[in-house]
A and B are shown apart, each in its own frame.
Chain A
Amino acid sequence: MKKPSQPFADLSRTGLPDLRWRPGRVLAGFFIALCIALLIGALLAALTFAGRSFATTGSTVADIGHLVRMSAIQAGTSTLLSLIVGVVLAWSLDRLRFFGRGLIVGLLSSALVLPSLVVVSGLIAIWGRVGWANLVLAPFGISTGASIYGFWGIVAAHVLLNGAFAARVLLDRLEAIPPEKLKLGRSLGLSTVQRFKIIDLPAILSSIPGIGATIFLLCFTSFAIVLVLGGGPANQTLEVAIYEAVRLDFDLGAAVRLALVQLVVCAAIIIPASTLTPAANLFGRRSELHWPEGMLVSAVQTVLLIGLLACFCAPLLAVLLRGSGTAMASLFGQASFWQAAGTSLWIGLASAAVSLGLAIGLGMARSLQRRNSPARMILGVPVFTYLAVPAVVLSLGFFLLARFVGVGPAQAAPLVLVIANALLSLPFVFATLSPPLEALAARHTKLIRSLGLSGLAQWRWVEWPLLGRPMGYAFAVAFVFSLGDLGVISLFGTSDFSTLPWLMYRAFGAYRTNDAEAIAAVMLIVAVVAFVVIPRIFEFLTHARD
């Protein structure tokens, strides 16, 4: 079988976009990129203008140097531990075969978009003052106290989420090792260490800087986890400081200054990071060849896998057990819960639809451009919005923009939440859809073109059925991402306009732990159901085929 080539790689020898084939798709992609760029530009302009207009009231006392230093130490520690956990998990999962392995791989895939508040709630349920750990240790006169609050609590939550993400991407790299290499290694009788050094390490090493940079940025800009588990100003991130400046101190001037610092720091990380190998590509070629380790190493891997998965699953299990039953029944009796659930649901669905549309538009246009062309790069830039402009900064930009155009936060909130969450989930949706779109273009464009199919026919007969599964998964990712958002709603949420995470955070703040745990359980159930049901709905609608 011939290797599929990049179609029409030589059609455009200039740096300009190639408009000779499917110009409508190319122009639509550039229109989307332009709209996102204009929106981000308007938000940045609003921030800059506000920075000049609003003097700080002095009520916010934020030591920016300390904030940056502490955020960097916390993010660095979280990244290092996440990578170690990721490598061990991926290495073990690559070698072991067992019933339910696919489910675990799926669980790891969804970790990055799992609502962080759910993980936080689970960790508190286990390690909090009245958590399981203290219940077990109490008869022995030992107590973990409130150790979950503070630096190590934040790191633990970050490692849970990002370790799983790192494992998923690294597993993909290990599974993409060509079978010939494995055959050669096996015939040479490589030991476990030799195999890891000679075969595994080169496969994963190129991905480590990209994954590391992504995780560092996610932890550096972490909001919900730090807000709940921070335990005071000592462990604050810039995001939390911005939120407190707006919501607690009503000091817009200070908030804007902090946001501008956050933007500069993020840009300083994202620019070098964007030159590193892209991290997320979950649709790589799979090697069918399985080469298990010997008995002893397999036993070690099994123990490591069980231990790490227990650490990952226990908080989720705790959420389900503690949040169900009477706590959930009581929650269901509250009108505010149903109002927040309804809002979360429609905003999640709307932002997922917008995100999917944006990703398809950008991805289609991008797949028509030559590799390494400036046009292709331009179409990829909007995808980095989330990493370059974190949730609370984006929210603050919208907050200021709404003020400038004379729209009250309450009126702007629904639209802002839909757009902001769509933009924030775009990197994940794009990472899911871009590889299959590229693969379709590489494999079928010559045939499609030689048959003279129209764009509509191409969509109807080729792309719609073949993209059904990844589209469903991408939609679920965007929906769950929006469902768990606390960053955007944090500046727009009120008692009248609330989402589930906002309601949960307020329950935590009011020491209504039972309500918070029940909301966490509902969010976890909805997230799992979304990941199971939404892809199936898309499969049904598209009559999805492999």
Chain B
Amino acid sequence: MLVIENLKYRHERGEMDYRFDLEIERGKIAGLTGPSGAGKSTLLDLIAGFLPPDSGDVVLDGRSIIGLAPENRPVSILFQADNLFDHLSAGANVALGISSKARADSPEVEKALADMGLSGLSKRQAANLSGGQKQRVALARTLLRNKPVLLLDEPFTGLDEETAHAMRAIIREIVARQGWYAILVSHDKEDIAALAQNHYRLENGRSHKV
């Protein structure tokens, strides 16, 4: 179980106090919706460790991860954009998820790309990939990193309907198969309906289970 417990945060500018309480079961996806400024991205930054909470805890399988630096947290993130280094090849981007010494043409990189339907694209520069291909390369890297918490920050925005549909299916399958805990932030009700087993709505800095 991933438990976000009474996680409080106040921005330095101090417009709003945030307080979040969520529970996500293994292999499930929790959908997060809410108006702009409600705190969706703030919550993801708190879980990933990019923001330090004022109080509260993030507990994964009974173990607090709140004291860990972002690079040491068992968390992978899929942003809306900028998931890849555009100047590197698809394979090099995936290899960076294993280690900085891993080779872009190693069998595990090739396999991860093949699992995402991207066979033969290992050498292509990321800048030359389509939006959907970029997201799948990032997912291939996520798969190889195998971190149990997956944060999805509007990952389907900007994708055409067909690609978004395929991406949703891949994510649902991976999360269930790997037994990960995923949180999906989206403005799109269709994303939430298609993927999320639980639905939380953020309003005025508070989380409410729908």
Contact = CB atoms under 8 A, between A and B. Distances in A.
A binds B: yes
Interface stretch (A42-50, A78-86, A326-334, A441-449): A441-449
B82 A453 contact: no
A496 interface: no
A20 interface: yes
A446 B125 CA distance: 21
Contact of B87 (A21, A450, A546): A546
B69 A20 contact: yes
Nearest to A442: B82
Given A7-B50, A8-B50, A545-B87, A450 B100 contact: no
Contact of B52 (A4, A10, A21): A10
Q: Which of A449, A451, A453, A546 has the most CB of B within 10 A?
A: A451
A456 B82 contact: no
A52 B57 CA distance: 64
A446 B77 contact: yes
A11 B12 CA distance: 10
Interface stretch (A210-218, A304-312, A460-468): A460-468
A510 interface: no
A11 B82 contact: no
A2 B80 contact: yes
Nearest to A453: B100
A100 interface: no
A444 B87 CA distance: 12
Interface in A425-465: 443-444, 446-447, 449-454, 456-457, 460-462, 465
Nearest to A460: B100
B75 A450 contact: yes
A111 to B, nearest CB: 31
The bracket for how many chain B residues form the interface is: 20 to 34
B51 interface: yes
A450 B141 CA distance: 12
Interface in B46-96: 48, 50-52, 69-72, 75-77, 79-83, 85-88, 92, 96
A510 B83 CA distance: 64
A465 B126 CA distance: 14
Contacts of B92: 461
A11 B51 CA distance: 6
A192 B92 CA distance: 50
Contacts of A7: 50
Contacts of A450: 48, 70-71, 75-77
A456 B96 CA distance: 13
B71 A1 contact: no
A13 B83 CA distance: 28
9 smallest CB-CB distances across A and B, nearest first, come from: A457-B100, A545-B87, A452-B71, A449-B70, A450-B77, A449-B71, A465-B87, A1-B81, A10-B51
Interface of A: 1-2, 4, 7-11, 13, 20-21, 443-444, 446-447, 449-454, 456-457, 460-462, 465-466, 545-546
20 contacts: A1-B158, A2-B79, A2-B81, A4-B82, A8-B50, A10-B12, A20-B69, A447-B77, A447-B82, A449-B70, A450-B70, A451-B71, A451-B97, A452-B72, A454-B100, A457-B100, A461-B85, A461-B100, A545-B86, A546-B86
